[in-house]
Structure formats: structure tokens, C-alpha cells
Amino acid sequence: SLIEAPTIWFDGALVPWQQARVHVLTHGLHYGTGVLEGTRVFATADGPAVFRLDDHLRRLARSAHMLRLPMPYGAEELAKGTLELLRANGHRSCYLRHFAFLGYGAMGLDMRSSPTTTVIASWEWDSPVGSEALRVMTSSWRRTDPNAVPPAAKATGPYLNSVLARREATDAGFDEALLLAADGAVSECSSENIFAVRGGVLRTPPAGAGALEGITQDTVLTLARDLGVEVQVENLLRSDLYAADEVFVCGTAAGIVPVRSLDNRELPSAPGDLTVRLRELYEAAVTGAEARYRGWLTPVG
Ligand code: PMP
């Protein structure tokens, strides 16, 4: 359940949490015409800091560009609004949701008659998938085809694909769903990117397989290279995951979470050795304990 914070940034003003409301004929509610970001604020020795804020705001702008959604606020204003909100809400650590959607103005598919509503919300949230090793199943739902709706845009409507897959997996008693692209290549999980380790080589599918360009995925690739690990961004088959020494998923909300089994085939270890090393370095990076990654942190101040 959602833990209320004092305020929400709503079209440029801080309003009380319960007053951040929209009309039922909001365009984005009917047609999924919105873009969103999930970002985390971590407790560091110098107080709370936002992890990779600029990268999240850049991806938000890219998503809006792909949808042709007008953005009334630029990245600088959104960054300023984010810090204002965080100072007002006073969290030690939290989850942040930036989103923009076509608001109230007109019904029908034409995008041009509705204004964009922009919101930044923050709340204290534990990982939605937990940190226990996951039992994952391959979904019967395919990842959204890039020529139907671009999965590279982190947009609200396409999340139905993830929601269907997650529900199918949990109904079947699994923790998470793996989605394949139309051609059968491994894409990603419902809200995390996926990695496999075999023979010491770390592999993850490219955006071309219908995966979101995950910021945690990019973080993990950077950390792995810094550890001297060989990394390959390339297409994987589900059998590559069955045959792996270690598999883990990663995302902003989840962090780095080991996979225990895929389609009831147990992995040899969960967490595996590299997963543990990456998780420790990730933890040090997001909390500012590792000086070389402090450039990724924006102090709330
Ligand atoms: N894939 C999907 C479909 C997601 O929703 C997310 C969460 N944003 C991710 C991957 C992981 O992305 P990130 O590391 O940027 O949170």
C-alpha cells in the first residue's frame, strides 16, 4: 500500500497529496498517452541523494519525443521541482515518479486538443519484487513489438504488456515473468532488465530485443567493466538462461535481484558470486560509499 507523503509537485506547484487529482475524462486514462520515470533517492552519509536524476529526465524527454507528447517543463525545471518536492517531503530515502500525460480537454484519439499534465510524486517504498531470489516463468505474452508501440519509450499505455505478464506469472505461483520478443529472443522481465553469467562472461539483451534501455542495466554494465568482467550486450535465447551459471534481474525499484529458477529449471546458485559482487558495488555506488561513482548522485541539500 502507498504511504502518503505531505505534497506532490503538480504542474509547477506543490499541492497536498490528497489534492493532486485529475478529471475522469483525462486523455491519458483512456488511451495511455503518458510517459513516466521511476527514480530512487538513497540515504547517503551527506543526506538523501537522487541516483542518476539527469539520466532519468533525459529518458523521460526521449519517451515524450517518441510519443510526440508536448512537454511544458524542461529537464532543468523538472530537476529543480524534484529537489523542491524532496525538501518539502523530507524523506531519508524514497522512490520518485516523474510523469507527464495528456490531460483533460478533449476525447478521441487526436493528441492535439488536450494539454499535458506534469507531475512529480515521492513516497517511501520497498522493492515491489522483494530481494529474495526469484522464481521466474517465461510469459505466454510477447514483449510489445517495436513496430506496434516502441518499448524503448517508457510510456504508460504499453505497461499493460508488463501488467498482463506479471499477473500471469503470479497466478501461476511464480514471482516474475520473462518476456520474449516476437522472434523468440529474450527481452526483459515485466519491470526489470535481465542478465546471465556463464563462464565468467556477463550478458544482457540489447534494446533491439524490445527491452527498455534500463538505467540500472547501464549502471551494472559500468560496474562490471570496472570490476574487469567481460560484458556482452547481445541477443539471448531462453536456453542461454537455462544453461547459465547465474541469472539476475535489475531495475530502479528492485535493485539487483538473483533468479533462483527459470521455468522450474534451477540455477546452480542464487545469488551467484558475480551477482553478489555486483550487488555490493551497486550498493556502494548508490549510497555514495564508493567515491568514483559520486557523479551519479544529486544531493537533495
Ligand atoms: N524494463 C522495464 C519494462 C521497466 O519497467 C523497468 C523499470 N523502469 C526496467 C526495465 C528497468 O529500468 P531502470 O533500471 O531504468 O529502472
- Domains in the chain (CATH in brackets) are 7-123 (3.30.470.10), 134-286 (3.20.10.10)
* Whole-angstrom distance, CA of residue 205 vs CA of residue 210: 9
pLDDT digits (tens, 9 = 90+) for 150-198: 999 999 999 999 999 999 999 999 999 999 999 999 999 999 999 999 9
* Whole-angstrom distance, CA of residue 248 vs CA of residue 43: 24
Overall average pLDDT of the 207-212 stretch = 93
Pocket test for ligand 1, best of 51, 141, 212 (most atoms within 8 A of CB): 212
> Between 72 and 130, where is the model more confident?
72
* Whole-angstrom distance, CA of residue 297 vs CA of residue 291: 10
For ligand 1, residues with CB inside 6 Å are: 38, 162, 188, 191-193, 212, 214-217, 251-252
Task: Note the pTM of the prediction, 2 decimals.
Answer: 0.97
| The pLDDT value given to residue 95 | 97
The CA-to-CA distance between both ends of the chain, in Å, stands at: 28
| The pLDDT value given to residue 128 | 59
| Residue 211: C-alpha distances to residues 30, 101, 233, 272, 278 (Å) | 25, 22, 12, 23, 21
The number of beta carbons lying within 10 Å of the beta carbon of residue 18 is 8
CB 39 within 8 A of CB 98: yes
131: confidence class by pLDDT, cuts 50, 70, 90: confident
Instruction: Reply yes or no on whether 80 is catalytic.
Output: no
> 123 in helix, strand or coil?
strand
- Active site residue: 52, 91, 143, 154, which one? 154
Q: Looking at this protein, which amino acid is placed at residue 117? A: T
In ligand 1, which atom is closest to the CA atom of 254? Answer: 16
Per-residue cell: 245:
551459471
ipTM > 0.90 (yes/no): yes
